[in-house]
């Protein structure tokens, strides 16, 4: 049961945002900047965000050449171009809001390793550059084959190297820490360990039920409206939505003396990605080896995929170099029948921004702007 004081001061809010990842925090910030006198509450079910916001690889990602070509197999040029522009605007907003120093943003180079079967993609590079030019204002992709040997990658696998001139990298922990601090500085209240179990929309407001593990009861909060920003986990509250979870497997090595490369790298249509961080190699991906098994919100590791990552880092990324794996983890992304994020008004007082397609770092800030414009 609640006390009189708790009912007076901790139950009623103008806006409640569910999810304290990149999108949820960005929505709360956008709302507070638009309505500075309104009360904002962000609810996060874990002590830390449990999706991908704090568990990704730190890519400020625009999409590799082969990934864009693959997208064009399943979507129109217009929709793929709009998504590319969304990534650009989202990254610009994130960097402007927090500052590059606070998020560890850097441009140490972004490259895609091309294998024998992917060489025909090079014939499409100039066409894609011209297609993207109104957004990029420079060639998005250029050949960098002269760097293959110096970077130390397997020349048996890497038949060409494409430089992506529009991507950067950031420090995921610093970014989410800075975003959290920014929200708190704006007067936004954030509660962690607060799992929303359901919501009930009434005529003029929404009742949000939150599990209280100490009182062993549901705490009933009231808000003028709520915005659900829990990405793959939005399915728990919105079972009818087109959301397919996608688990991403990641590992990071111990520091490697004399590591030959910096920057960020992709291969196999973006299904694999690696980078240098603190003299280590961070490597993730392999979801395409087991789409069905990785369509889960469980954070356990997939042994088959982890073994595959071990093999590829040994044979493609660091051939002939000794290394030790320091950590392994996974993060949960959200996909659907379209690569477009879901940004929508679900009912008069309920809104949603989820299904980031593995691009939450890039598009999250702009997606927040779009959903707040509906509220």
- Structurally, the chain folds into a number of domains equal to 2
Q: Is pLDDT of 49 > 90?
A: no
Are residues 329 and 251 located together in one domain of the fold?
A: yes
Paired tokens of 167:
């991507």
Are residues 213 and 224 located together in one domain of the fold?
A: yes
Domain assignment present for residue 43? The answer is yes
Q: What pLDDT shows up at residue 11?
A: 93
Answer for the pair 246, 295: CB distance below 8 angstroms, yes or no: yes
Residues 182-186 have a mean pLDDT of 97
Q: Is pLDDT of 124 > 90?
A: yes
DSSP states of 249-288 as a string? EEEEEPP-TT----SEEEETTTTEEEEEETTEEEEEE-GG
Answer for the pair 201, 348: CB distance below 8 angstroms, yes or no: yes
pLDDT in tens, 21-48: 999 999 999 999 999 999 999 999 998 8
Domain assignment present for residue 186? The answer is yes
Q: What is the CATH number of the domain that holds 210?
A: 3.50.50.60
Are residues 181 and 305 located together in one domain of the fold?
A: no
- For 193-214, b where at least 16 C-beta lie within 10 A, e where not — what string? ebbbeebeeeeebbebbbeeee
Are residues 224 and 193 located together in one domain of the fold?
A: yes
Domain assignment present for residue 185? The answer is yes
Q: What pLDDT shows up at residue 216?
A: 83
Nearest Cα to Cα of residue 365 among 24, 52, 19, 106? 24
Q: What is the CATH number of the domain that holds 325?
A: 3.30.9.10
SS3 352: strand
Are residues 302 and 219 located together in one domain of the fold?
A: no
Q: How far apart are CA 55 and CA 285, in angstroms?
A: 13
Maximal CA-CA distance, the chain: 71
Are residues 253 and 323 located together in one domain of the fold?
A: yes
- Please work out, in degrees rounded to the nearest 5, the angle formed at the alpha carbon of residue 169 by the alpha carbons of 100 and 323: 130
Residues 128-139 have a mean pLDDT of 96
Are residues 48 and 8 located together in one domain of the fold?
A: yes
Q: Around 175, how many Cα atoms within 13 Å sit in the side-chain half-sphere? A: 31
Domain hosting 272: range is 244-335
pTM: 0.94
Strand 350-354 versus strand 217-228 pairing type: parallel
- Please work out, in degrees rounded to the nearest 5, the angle formed at the alpha carbon of residue 50 by the alpha carbons of 11 and 242: 90
Are residues 330 and 249 located together in one domain of the fold?
A: yes
pLDDT in tens, 243-293: 999 999 999 999 999 999 999 999 999 999 999 999 999 999 999 999 999
Q: At 52, is the pLDDT very low, low, confident or very high (cuts 50, 70, 90)?
A: confident
DSSP states of 311-345 as a string? HHIIIIISTT----EEEEEEEEEEE-SSSS-EEEE
- Which residue in the block uniquely carries the two structure tokens 């980078």? 275
Are residues 330 and 368 located together in one domain of the fold?
A: no
Are residues 178 and 315 located together in one domain of the fold?
A: no
Least confident of 6-10, 110-114, 232-236, 306-310: 6-10
DSSP states of 225-256 as a string? EEEE--GGGHHHH-TTS--EEEEEEEEEEPP-
Percent of the chain clearing pLDDT 70 (strictly above): 100
Domain assignment present for residue 139? The answer is no
Q: How far apart are CA 17 and CA 190, in angstroms?
A: 9
Nearest Cα to Cα of residue 53 among 371, 363, 317? 363
Are residues 15 and 50 located together in one domain of the fold?
A: yes
Q: Is pLDDT of 354 > 90?
A: yes
Are residues 284 and 319 located together in one domain of the fold?
A: yes
Q: What pLDDT shows up at residue 50?
A: 79
Q: Is pLDDT of 214 > 90?
A: no
H or E element, residue 58? none
Q: Is pLDDT of 217 > 90?
A: no
**Average per-residue pLDDT for the chain:** 95
- Please work out, in degrees rounded to the nearest 5, the angle formed at the alpha carbon of residue 374 by the alpha carbons of 368 and 375: 90
Q: How far apart are CA 278 and CA 262, in angstroms?
A: 10
Q: At 1, is the pLDDT very low, low, confident or very high (cuts 50, 70, 90)?
A: confident
Domain assignment present for residue 168? The answer is no
Residues 361-365 have a mean pLDDT of 95
Percent of the chain clearing pLDDT 90 (strictly above): 90
């Amino acid at each position: 049961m609640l006390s009189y004081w708790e009912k007076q001061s901790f139950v009623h809010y103008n806006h409640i945002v569910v999810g304290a990842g990149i999108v949820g925090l960005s929505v709360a910030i956008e709302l507070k900047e638009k309505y500075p006198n309104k009360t904002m509450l962000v609810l996060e079910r874990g002590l830390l965000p449990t999706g991908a916001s704090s568990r990704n690889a730190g890519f400020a990602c625009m999409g590799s050449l082969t990934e864009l070509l693959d997208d064009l197999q399943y979507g129109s040029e217009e929709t793929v171009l709009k998504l590319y522009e969304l990534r650009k605007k989202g990254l610009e907003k994130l960097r402007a809001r927090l500052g590059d120093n606070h998020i560890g943003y850097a441009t140490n180079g972004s490259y895609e390793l091309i294998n024998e079967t992917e060489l025909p993609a090079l014939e499409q590079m100039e066409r894609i550059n011209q297609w993207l030019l109104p957004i990029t204002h420079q060639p998005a992709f250029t050949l960098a084959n002269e760097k293959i040997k110096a970077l130390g990658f397997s020349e048996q696998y890497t038949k060409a190297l494409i430089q992506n001139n529009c991507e950067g990298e950031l420090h995921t922990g610093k970014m989410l820490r800075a975003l959290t601090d920014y929200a708190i500085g704006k007067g936004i209240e954030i509660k962690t360990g607060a799992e929303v179990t359901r919501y009930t929309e009434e005529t003029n407001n929404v009742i949000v039920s939150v599990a209280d593990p100490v009182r062993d009861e549901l705490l009933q909060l009231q808000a003028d409206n709520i915005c659900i920003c829990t990405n793959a986990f939005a399915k728990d509250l919105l079972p009818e939505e087109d959301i397919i979870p996608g688990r991403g497997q990641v590992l990071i090595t111990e520091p490697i003396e004399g590591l030959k490369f910096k920057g960020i790298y992709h291969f196999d249509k973006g299904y694999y990605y690696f980078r240098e961080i603190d003299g280590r190699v961070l490597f993730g991906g392999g979801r395409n080896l087991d789409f069905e098994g990785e369509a889960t919100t469980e954070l356990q590791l997939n042994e088959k995929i982890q073994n595959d990552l071990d093999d590829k880092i040994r044979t493609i990324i660091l051939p002939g170099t000794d290394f030790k794996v320091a950590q392994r983890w996974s993060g949960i992304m959200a996909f659907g029948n379209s690569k477009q994020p879901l940004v929508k008004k679900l009912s008069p007082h309920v809104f949603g921004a989820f299904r980031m397609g593995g691009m939450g770092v890039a598009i999250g800030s702009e997606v927040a702007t779009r959903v707040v414009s509906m509220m």
